[in-house]
Structure 1
Amino acid sequence: MKKYLTYVGSDVSKAKLDVNILDSNTLQSEHCVIENTSKSITRFLNSLKKQLDLQTTLFCCENTGVYTNHLATTLLELKLDLWIVPAIEIKRSKGITRGKSDKTDAKDIAFYSLRNIDKLKLFTLTNIDIQKLKLLHAEREKMVKAMLLIESTKENKAFTAKEVFKEVSALNQSLIKSIKSSISKIEARIKSIIKSNEELNKQEKLIRSIPGIGEQTSVYLIIATKGFTAFKTWRQFACYSGVAPFEYTSGSSINGRTKVNHMADKKMKALLQMCAMTSLKYDPQIKEYYNRKKAQGKEPMLVLNNVRCKLISRVFAVINRETAYVDMYKFAS
């Protein structure tokens, strides 16, 4: 593993970066504040380059979504090492704390990167097409939620005078029509991006070959896995999706039931639930498995969760071997 001499922790916000420069030998640190812009970050790195060797420096920050983009792109352009860590992981590593400020947060991030170097996973920029898909998918989600909210006005029709309801009905229909048109354009653009990218197009076709998995789930699987580069095994992704069961026991007094953890990608979990329900209808092998386990006395939700895990394992199997799913059940005697 590469030996770093300096650890730079950055607390990222919309307007500024609180930066803590930590020396690994003396554990002495220096704090400064810079604007969250590409130019400001570049100027800071140029001044830092005069003081220390940037090739033996590890930059670390919390994952704050788009606010980290300027820092990430600037560092990667200069081929410097960056570690982006989930905020909750850093928070829980701090132990008992009192008070909070951006300055202390930057220092905590720097010390986290020093103490947990064995967990290091350097950040790499996602494929540009996957970045586009992620943004388009997010916009589609917003529009679907907005449409459902506007459509809820229809409930007033049965309880409101016709003359009164007429004031908003035409406006609502116009808004819904406009949103549906925008959703269709976004979906068309998503299809176009996938089709134009040979690797993503191949992955999408392989995923869709699995019974029960539809268009929206296949797209989100590609986004969540960053084109199946972010997770090595299907078990890791099952954990990320919140469908991997974990044991809850301690000594002789605590003996809780094995269950999934609430920390998960809730969108992915919901899509997998819908896929599991669909596969019960259209996949004889899954249906037979579900009925067999229920007959053995297993809880329906436990069996459904097992089905979700099966679907994830199938997805990773077809991607790894680069061949479409083959239903061997129909060949069984």
Structure 2
Amino acid sequence: MKNYLVHLGIDISKSKLDVNLLTSQNLQSEHFVIDNNPKAISEFVKMLIKRKLDIKQILFCCENTGIYTNHLSYTLSNLELDLWIVPAIEIKRSKGISRGKNDKTDAKDIAFYSLRNIDKLNLYAKPDVDIDKLKLLHTEREKVLKALLLLETTKENELFIPKSIYSEVSKINQSTINGLKKSLKEIEKRIQEVIKKNDKLETQNKLIQTIPGIGKQTALYFIIATKGFSAFTSWRKFACYSGVAPFEYSSGSSIKGRTKVNHMADKKMKSLLQMCAMTTLKYDPQLKEYYTKKKGEGKNAMLVLNNIRCKLISRVFAVINRETPYINTYKFAS
């Protein structure tokens, strides 16, 4: 592991970055405020070089703030500098007891987190451009679907109010719905075009869909969530990320809580896996038999379905790692 001489804690907001420069030897810190744009970030890096700091011995650390992090992550990646993006809740819980907050102290807390937790270091790797495109297109698709669902509720008024009143909005409503449906088709078409132009993503997409119960939308989200299966080293880690891995809850001899999944999860992935698990009961005889067997043993239905979700994740990672389609060996069993 690299021995970093300087830790830069960066608190990110929409318009500015609060930066705390912390030297690892004497723990002296210095505070800066710069604009949150690529030009300002590049100028700040040049300033660090002018101060005769070894830029390769600096670890930049920040919280994950979604799109507000993009200027920093893309600029530092292009400059081939080390960046560590940490979940905000992890930094918050590492602070211990604290009172009050502001951007300056938050940047300092991030710098100290970087210094003290260097053993957890996981450097940021810029995702593939096509993965970013798919992520953005998928987000837009979700927005359009929610908008359609909301606008469809207007039709309920037709049965309960006079036609002369309903006619005021009916044509406008239908026109908006038709426009959104057209946009939805364009988005889905563009998603397929992005996948087809990338041989690796197209192969992964086809392999995932060979598994009974998993459709194209779940396959797409698997690719996005795993960044093309580069962000997770095993299916067990992804099961934890998806919120389907059970955890024990006990302490000493008096506290014996129920083993259950954690609420911190990718809720979209968890929801898709639940629908896939229900679908497999119709189209996968092996998992249907497993479900019936466990139910017969008195197991809770949701517990068994959660086990099936884990099995689906393991199958997905298996076909990706083997680079071969899923083969249902159950039908060859005697």
- Scaled by the length of structure 2, what TM-score is found? 0.99
User: What amino acid is the match of 1:107?
Assistant: K
| RMSD of aligned alpha carbons | 0.7
Alpha-carbon distance in 1 for matches of 2:165, 2:205:
48
Q: Does 1:218 align with 2:224?
A: no
SS at the partner of 1:238? helix
Equivalent runs, 1:265-284 vs 2, <5 Å: 265-284=266-285
Q: Deviations 1:60-94 (Å, cap 9, x if unpaired)?
A: 00011111111111111111100000111111111
Q: Does 1:50 align with 2:54?
A: no
Aligned residues: 333
Alpha-carbon distance in 2 for matches of 1:239, 1:172:
42
SS at the partner of 2:147? helix
Alpha-carbon distance in 2 for matches of 1:289, 1:176:
43
**Runs of 5+ consecutive residues of structure 2 not aligned to the other structure:** none
Deviation at 1:171, TM superposition (A): 1.1
Deviation at 1:170, TM superposition (A): 1.2
Q: Deviations 1:90-119 (Å, cap 9, x if unpaired)?
A: 111111110010000000000000000000
Instruction: Name 1:14's counterpart in structure 2.
Output: 14
Alpha-carbon distance in 1 for matches of 2:200, 2:32:
43
User: What amino acid is the match of 2:112?
Assistant: F
Equivalent runs, 1:62-141 vs 2, <5 Å: 62-141=63-142
Equivalent runs, 1:1-333 vs 2, <5 Å: 1-51=1-51, 52-333=53-334
Alpha-carbon distance in 1 for matches of 2:289, 2:273:
19
Alpha-carbon distance in 1 for matches of 2:217, 2:246:
25
**Runs of 5+ consecutive residues of structure 1 not aligned to the other structure:** none
Deviation at 1:28, TM superposition (A): 0.9
Deviation at 1:315, TM superposition (A): 0.1
SS at the partner of 1:230? coil
Alpha-carbon distance in 2 for matches of 1:307, 1:160:
47
Alpha-carbon distance in 1 for matches of 2:231, 2:108:
28
SS at the partner of 2:248? strand
User: What amino acid is the match of 1:102?
Assistant: D
Alpha-carbon distance in 2 for matches of 1:117, 1:327:
44
Deviation at 1:133, TM superposition (A): 0.2
Deviation at 1:161, TM superposition (A): 1.4
Runs of 4+ in 1 over 3 A off after TM superposition: none
Deviation at 1:295, TM superposition (A): 0.2
